[in-house]
């Protein structure tokens, strides 16, 4: 470094010219320890020695490069896993997997008869854990990931090498393995292309890369044709084009709430565009993102995307087209954006925390439901939102209040225990065999995230309270949920029930709202909140007593001949004693008893009562047994029902009842019954 530059111009010389030697910590350690390369420094020498001891192969001239690769790649993979990177087939996870497999390949070359790298983790942590505290914290996860990956890789390697030997038996130095053969090894048996090259390089045999790429392109074309034939929507074709061209989005949001990303596609009004300006609604796709795309019942993240040109995009939702792209839906508030731009992505962290709490609560709720109702309970759907959660599950009948209370209490006990939420990567089969439950509607690849939460030895089972497969985001410890409150339990369909619940601050506010309501009721009743139940019970009893007294008073009033709009006194109609009344506020259910008493009083005759209640009319007619051959109560009541705007009416010849919507015409109903009884035509 020699010159001073300002505004793209060299304006002078530096007062102290210098040379950037690139001497980082490890190169300085190499010099200070008087050795010729970094692998001879104390830290790496310890790792190489541990590798020698475990493999039982000394680091001679032939084996030394393999031991050094194992030591170097052990360090890099462990640090990546500690930083939250996990092996996958996309993005940085794929880089991690390739590094791991290269080291595992060299362990195989050294003659290791069982997985090696995970057994070196304690030595690495001992050497570097003090300087890098995240290593001991993540040691269990690092060990598990390395052992699982190497076990699977060794199976792939053994099978692939046998197949490769068979396919390359006739090839000698200078020959080339056909690309189609290399692709078959990759596509059918999972044997990576770079390992095919490595395995053949020592024999001087190359691989036809062009042929491999051509076979890969042919497979993609066939997959695309099959996909188009499935009848997928036109919009999906757009996403398919992007996914085929750019690959899957890498989700970084398990450990981060913000990060950088490169814009790989922009969509406006259903069409791909190269740029978009302020005021436009746009869908932004980046190569990596901390934004969670809606899936598995969990809602997508919101937040902001910012960058050069004063760019500011308000992201209102994140979707997950094809299950592998993350599409940020938003409006450009300022500036402009173009494909290829590097942007800063930041989610609404508070909203994410609330969603995470609700999501983790559904796992605890699922476990509690199974504990209290039985293992027939399985998830049938869910909604994990910012302000609430909804959980659908199989169960043949409604939950009793005591069951709901017990389920809620158990979940809150797990929350108060504040146990760590642990994430592991496993194959789906291994995870389910270990007792993990798969979530409804979730699609799983060759690796799954296994979420364990709650007491780590629940009821002496040796397992955590909840163990499920889930790709969503979750709290770090159950205590982060704060509180769970079940607010509703209902039916969704035959055999499926639904629980709605709140967590954290939303649950607290709900409880406070109910307490305020209780205080308001207590003030209205002029009593203390603790005495509201007793006071309400007393009021209910008093109301029932008053209703009984009122009904008895109305009954006595009716039997006594007053209180209605028509007299109850008997009259002679067509040679038959007739009593007709219209009673206001009478419960129709009480008419039969009144008519029975009227018949007993009359001895022989016809009694009719119209009860008017809330604007409607109930008409009832009774005929003593000695008159039923001459007059039917059914015929008489139908005349009265028609007068109040109703139709029909039915019963027996001695007692019949019906009703109509026009209570104001009660007197007309009595008059119509009187006319029929007199043998007159009702006009």
Judge contact between 189 and 159, C-beta under 8 A: yes
Query: Taking CA 9 as the corner, what is the angle to CA 3 and CA 12, rounded to the nearest 5 degrees?
Result: 35
Q: Beta 379-384 vs 389-394: how paired, if at all? A: antiparallel
Round to whole Å and give the CA distance between 472 and 298. Answer: 7
Q: Which of 183-192, 271-280, 341-350 is the least confident region?
A: 183-192
At residue 566, the pLDDT reads: 41
Judge contact between 458 and 370, C-beta under 8 A: no
CB-based contacts of 351: which residues, under 8 Å, 6+ apart?
Answer: 301, 302, 386
User: What DSSP character marks residue 300?
Assistant: P
Range of the domain at 614: 552-677
Round to whole Å and give the CA distance between 391 and 366. Answer: 8
**Per-residue pLDDT band at 378 (split at 50, 70, 90):** confident
Instruction: Indicate if 250 and 297 belong to the same structural domain.
Output: yes
Instruction: Indicate if 288 and 207 belong to the same structural domain.
Output: no
In a domain, 547, yes or no: no
The token duo for 372 is 């209290």
In a domain, 532, yes or no: no
- Number of domains, the chain: 4
In a domain, 66, yes or no: yes
Residue 290, pLDDT > 70, answer yes
The token duo for 532 is 């509201």
Domain of 583, CATH number, reads: 3.10.310.40
In a domain, 224, yes or no: no
Judge contact between 315 and 277, C-beta under 8 A: no
Q: Beta 606-613 vs 576-584: how paired, if at all? A: parallel
In a domain, 421, yes or no: yes
Round to whole Å and give the CA distance between 680 and 639. Answer: 12
Instruction: Indicate if 502 and 623 belong to the same structural domain.
Output: no
Tell me the average pLDDT across 227-249.
72
Domain of 446, CATH number, reads: 3.30.980.10
Q: Which of 295-299, 375-379, 413-417 is the least confident region?
A: 375-379
- Considering 154-163, 182-191, 217-226, 519-528, the range whose residues carry the highest mean pLDDT is 519-528
Q: What percent of the chain has pLDDT over 70?
A: 93
Q: Which of 280-289, 483-492, 580-589, 646-655 is the least confident region?
A: 580-589
At residue 683, the pLDDT reads: 58
**Per-residue pLDDT band at 667 (split at 50, 70, 90):** very high
pLDDT tens-place string over residues 38-61: 888 998 999 999 999 998 888 787
Residue 614: CB atoms within 10 A of its CB come to 6
Is residue 468 classed as helix, strand or coil in its secondary structure?
strand
Residue 338: CB atoms within 10 A of its CB come to 16
At residue 223, the pLDDT reads: 64
pLDDT tens-place string over residues 60-89: 878 898 999 999 999 999 999 888 777 776
Judge contact between 87 and 97, C-beta under 8 A: yes
Instruction: Indicate if 100 and 175 belong to the same structural domain.
Output: yes
In a domain, 408, yes or no: yes
> Average model confidence (pLDDT) for the chain?
87
Q: Beta 288-289 vs 250-251: how paired, if at all? A: parallel
The token duo for 635 is 């015929």
At residue 591, the pLDDT reads: 86
pTM: 0.62
Q: Which helix (H) or strand (E) holds 317?
A: strand 311-319
Residue 24, pLDDT > 80, answer yes
Instruction: Indicate if 311 and 375 belong to the same structural domain.
Output: no
Q: Which of 57-66, 329-338, 511-520, 644-653 is the least confident region?
A: 57-66
Round to whole Å and give the CA distance between 164 and 168. Answer: 6
Alpha-carbon dihedral 669, 670, 674, 676, rounded to 10 degrees: 20
Instruction: Indicate if 506 and 374 belong to the same structural domain.
Output: yes
In a domain, 503, yes or no: yes
């Amino acid at each position: 470094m020699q010159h001073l530059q300002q505004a793209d111009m060299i304006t002078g010389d530096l007062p102290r010219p210098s040379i950037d030697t690139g001497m980082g910590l490890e190169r300085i350690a190499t010099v200070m320890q008087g050795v010729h390369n970094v692998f001879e420094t104390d830290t790496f020498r310890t790792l190489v020695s541990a590798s020698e001891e475990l493999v039982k192969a000394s680091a001679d001239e032939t084996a030394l490069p393999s031991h050094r690769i194992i030591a170097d790649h052990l360090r890099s993979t462990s640090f990546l896993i500690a930083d939250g990177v996990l092996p996958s087939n996309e993005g940085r996870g794929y880089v991690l997997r390739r590094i791991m497999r290269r080291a595992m390949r060299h362990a195989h070359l050294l003659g290791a008869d069982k997985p090696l790298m995970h057994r070196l983790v304690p030595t690495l942590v001992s050497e570097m854990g003090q300087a890098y505290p995240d290593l001991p914290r993540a040691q269990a996860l690092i060990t598990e990931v390395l052992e699982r990956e190497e076990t699977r890789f060794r199976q792939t390697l053994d099978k692939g090498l046998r197949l490769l030997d068979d396919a390359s038996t006739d090839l000698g130095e200078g020959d080339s393995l056909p690309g189609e053969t290399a692709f078959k090894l990759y596509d059918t048996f999972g044997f990576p292309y770079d390992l095919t090259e490595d395995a053949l390089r020592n024999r001087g045999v190359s691989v036809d890369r062009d042929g491999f790429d051509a076979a890969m392109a042919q497979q993609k074309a066939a997959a695309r044709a099959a996909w188009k034939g499935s009848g997928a929507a036109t919009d999906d074709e757009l996403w398919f084009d992007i996914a085929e061209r750019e690959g899957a989005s890498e989700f970084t949001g398990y450990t981060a709430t913000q990060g950088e990303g490169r814009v790989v596609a922009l969509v406006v009004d259903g069409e791909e565009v190269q740029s978009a300006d302020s005021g436009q609604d746009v869908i932004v796709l980046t190569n990596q993102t901390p934004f969670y795309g809606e899936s598995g019942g969990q809602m997508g993240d919101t937040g902001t995307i910012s960058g050069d040109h004063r760019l500011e995009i308000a992201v209102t939702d994140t979707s997950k087209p094809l299950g592998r792209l993350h599409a940020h839906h938003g409006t450009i508030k300022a500036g402009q954006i173009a494909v290829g731009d590097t942007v800063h992505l930041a989610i609404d962290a508070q909203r994410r925390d609330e969603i995470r709490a609700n999501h983790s609560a559904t796992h605890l709720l699922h476990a509690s439901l199974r504990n209290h109702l039985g293992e027939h309970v399985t998830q049938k759907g869910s909604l994990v939102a910012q302000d609430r959660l909804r959980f659908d599950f199989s169960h043949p009948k409604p939950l009793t209040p005591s069951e709901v209370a017990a389920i809620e209490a158990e979940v809150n006990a797990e929350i108060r225990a504040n146990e760590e939420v642990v994430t592991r990567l496993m194959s789906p089969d291994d995870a389910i065999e270990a007792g993990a439950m798969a979530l409804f509607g979730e699609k799983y690849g060759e690796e799954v995230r296994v979420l364990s939460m709650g007491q780590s030895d629940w009821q002496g089972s040796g397992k955590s309270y909840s163990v499920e497969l889930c790709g969503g985001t979750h709290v770090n410890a159950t205590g982060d949920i704060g509180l769970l409150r079940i607010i509703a339990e209902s039916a969704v369909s035959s055999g499926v029930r639904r629980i709605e619940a709140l967590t954290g601050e939303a649950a607290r506010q709900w409880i406070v709202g109910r307490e305020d309501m209780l205080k308001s009721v207590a003030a209205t009743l002029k009593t203390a909140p603790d005495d509201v139940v007793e006071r309400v019970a007393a009021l209910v009893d008093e109301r029932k007593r008053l209703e009984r007294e009122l009904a008895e008073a109305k009954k006595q009033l009716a039997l006594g001949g007053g209180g209605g709009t028509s007299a109850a006194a008997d009259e002679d109609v067509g040679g038959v004693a007739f009593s007709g009344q219209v009673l206001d506020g009478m419960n129709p259910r009480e008419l039969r008893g009144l008519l029975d008493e009227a018949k007993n009083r009359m001895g022989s005759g016809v009694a009719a009562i119209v009860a008017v209640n809330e604007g409607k009319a109930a008409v009832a007619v009774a005929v003593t047994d000695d008159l039923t051959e001459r007059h039917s109560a059914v015929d008489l009541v139908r005349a009265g029902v028609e007068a109040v705007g109703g139709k029909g009416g039915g019963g027996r010849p001695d007692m019949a009842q019906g009703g109509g919507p026009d209570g104001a015409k009660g007197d007309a109903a009595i008059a119509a019954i009187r006319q029929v009884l007199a043998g007159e035509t009702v006009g």
